[in-house]
Amino acid sequence: MKSIKSAGVIGAGVIGSGWIARFLLNGIDVYVYDPSTEAPANVDKVVKNAERSYKKLLRSDLPKKGTLSFSSSVSEVARSAKLIIEAVPERLSAKQSVYDEIESSSNSEVIIASSTSGILPSDLQAQMSHPDRLLVAHPFNPVYLLPLVEMVGGEKTSKKAIEETSNILSVIGMFPLHIKKEIPAFIADRLLESVWREALWLVNDNVATTEEIDDAIRYGFGLRWAQMGLFETYRLAGGDAGMRHFISQFGPCLEWPWTHLTDVPEFTDELIDKVSNQSDLQSGQYSIDELMQKRDDNLVDFLKVLKNNRWGAGNILKDFDERLSNPKSKIEFSKLDLNQPLLTFETKIPKEWVDYNGHMTESRYLECFSEATTEMMAIVGADEDYISSIGSYFTVETHIRHLDEVLIGEKIYSKTQVIFGENKKLHLFHWLYHESDRLLATAEHMLIHVDLNTRAASLPNDDVLKRMSMVYEAHKELPKPDGLNRAVGDKF
């Protein structure tokens, strides 16, 4: 999949600013038009929040940040970008006016994606000269963290526009959900609207306060929905018999006359005051900035747990993180410079690796060296395929020196020298460095090759022996590392 070099955003409100941050942090230059004089400051705040979140969220480095340019007109943006996000207020005439200006200034290949939360794309494209290149790409706030984007084509939207946009958004870590039938408000907002209607009635009828309703969601079904959605949650509720049993057991309840979903309370001044006052009582002690950062912190941790469990939105994050690391990975063996220690590991210190002071814990030093050993094994040919069919190297002895501290969010890397590599034995020495080249720790590992079928020590195959011999012969000429063959208690 290939990304784009530039994108345009028309409208820099909450959603538009989120798009801008998502693009910029993926190395894409962004051209923006918004008539508000406050737009640059608002965008800057959202981008800083996104950078703060990504620092905690990703193990891989993001590409070099794109450049941000505020343009003087829609036309100027249209001439500068391949993909244009329209994020202006929800008025059909205003959006169509933007499309008219774009079409008068750009070529017919430019894709226009509307962030509308409910207007049909066929209505949006009704007055366009090239309606085939317009579609809806409806994201969710904060756009830089939540992966879902609902993609809806109109009657005249081309398949090519859908496919190209889906590809672009996938590359920048999003989950394009192609909704194949036009419907007002699409999928997610229709579901949200139903809960919103019922919640308003509960407040209106003095059944619950805004805080009690939020508590019912965030302490209960909201946690289930965050990782399983609606139907998969109810499938579990049906037990071993699954969804069919759940429907037969709970389906009749839907006929009970307790819901207000087909009705909406009148927005009287009394109801507006009640909702607003309860919301102030619930959350008024926090500023909007504080709530935004707390929301982002919680989303980062939710997403990372889902990533570790390889489930739901975590799979999108995992793919995105791995895609970011690909340009730096896997140099062919023949192109390695064996006349120096080999680079075997790079990462940024994530939140879960640190103690209450923000310092990386002792166990994570060993984890870094374990990753370096795994990479060294792969370099000599003992990679995942080899391990699954032939054998592996087992660590039989380790010695670590902890020399300096490293903090959350900082980048580290390791280099490795082969001290001995013949027959069944592999003796490695690792250095762990801060990105500033400050030495943080060293580790010495002795490994023995094992046949995984017999669980006994064995010789590697000829290919691994050959590669290991080439590295060892080159590394024998290197200076002996400081700290080699040390024992616990030796004088530093």
User: pLDDT of 266-315, one tens digit each?
Assistant: 878 998 898 888 888 988 898 888 888 989 998 999 998 998 888 889 88
Q: Boundaries of CATH 1.10.1040.10 in the chain?
A: 189-285
Of 316, 369, 343, 329, residue with least CA distance to 145: 316
Total residues found in the chain within this entry: 492
Cβ-based neighbour number of residue 360 at 10 Å: 24
Closest to 392 measured CA to CA, from 482, 479, 456, 319: 456
Q: Which of 86-90, 253-257, 345-349 has the lowest mean pLDDT?
A: 253-257
What is the pLDDT, as a whole number, of residue 257? Answer: 64
What integer is the mean pLDDT of 458-470?
95
To the nearest whole percent, how much of the chain has pLDDT over 70?
96
The tokens for 158 are 């081309």
More confident residue, 325 or 135: 135
User: What six digits make up the tokens of 183?
Assistant: 């419907």
**What mean pLDDT is reported for the chain?**
91
All CATH 3.40.50.720 domain ranges of the chain, comma separated, are 6-185
pLDDT on residue 254 = 65
Per residue in 201-231, pLDDT (tens digit) is 999 999 999 999 999 999 899 988 988 898 8
The CATH architecture one would assign to domain 6-185 is 3-Layer(aba) Sandwich (3.40)
Residue 259, pLDDT > 70, answer no
Residue 328, pLDDT score = 52
Non-local CB neighbours of 126 within 8 Å, separated by 6+ positions: 96
Residue recorded with tokens 């902890």: 402
End-to-end CA distance of the chain: 51
Across the range 76-97, mean pLDDT stands at: 95
Express as a percent the part of the chain with pLDDT over 90.
69
Q: What is the mean pLDDT of residues 387-406?
A: 94
Residue 401, pLDDT above cutoff 80:
yes
- What's residue 364's pLDDT? 96
- Across 175-192, average pLDDT: 95
**Alpha-carbon distances, residue 318 vs 52, 174, 306, 414 (angstroms):** 19, 11, 9, 23
pLDDT band at 338 (very low <50, low <70, confident <90, very high): very high
CA-based nearest residue to 115, from 142, 85, 145, 74:
85
How far is Cα 174 from Cα 149, in angstroms, rounded to an integer? 7
Residue 326's pLDDT is what? 63
| Selected residue with higher pLDDT from 201 and 258 | 201
pLDDT at 268: 86
Tens-place pLDDT, residues 137-173: 999 999 999 999 999 999 999 999 999 999 999 999 9
> Minimum mean pLDDT among 246-250, 321-325, 376-380, 431-435: which range?
246-250
Is the model's pLDDT at 67 over the cut of 90?
yes
In this predicted structure, what is the pLDDT of residue 253? 67
The confidence band for 69, taking pLDDT boundaries of 50, 70 and 90, is very high
Q: What span, in angstroms and rounded, lies between the C-alpha atoms of 42 and 9?
A: 14
Which of 172, 174, 190 lies closest to 182 in space, CA to CA?
Answer: 190
Question: Which DSSP string do the residues of 377-404 spell out, in sequence order?
Answer: HHHTT--HHHHHHTEEEEEEEEEEEE--
Q: Which residues contact 4 (CB under 8 A, 6 or more apart)?
A: 28, 81, 82, 83, 168
Check if CATH label 2.10.69.10 holds for domain 330-475.
no
Burial 195-223 (b: 16+ CB within 10 A, else e): eebebbbbbbeeebbbeebbeeeeeeeee
Q: What is the rounded CA–CA span in Å between residue 327 and residue 329?
A: 6
Q: Which distant-in-sequence residues (6+ apart) come within 8 Å of 319 by Cβ? A: 173
189-285 — its CATH code? 1.10.1040.10
Identify the pLDDT of residue 212: 96
Q: Which of 144, 169, 165, 143 is nearest to 153 (CA)?
A: 165
Per-residue tokens: 82: 């391949």
What pLDDT, on a 0 to 100 scale, did the predictor assign at position 255?
67
- Please check the confidence at residue 330 and state whether its pLDDT lies above 80: no
Helix/strand/coil percentages in the chain, nearest 5: 45, 20, 35
What is the predicted pLDDT for the residue at 55?
A: 87
* Parts of the chain belonging to CATH 3.10.129.10: 330-475
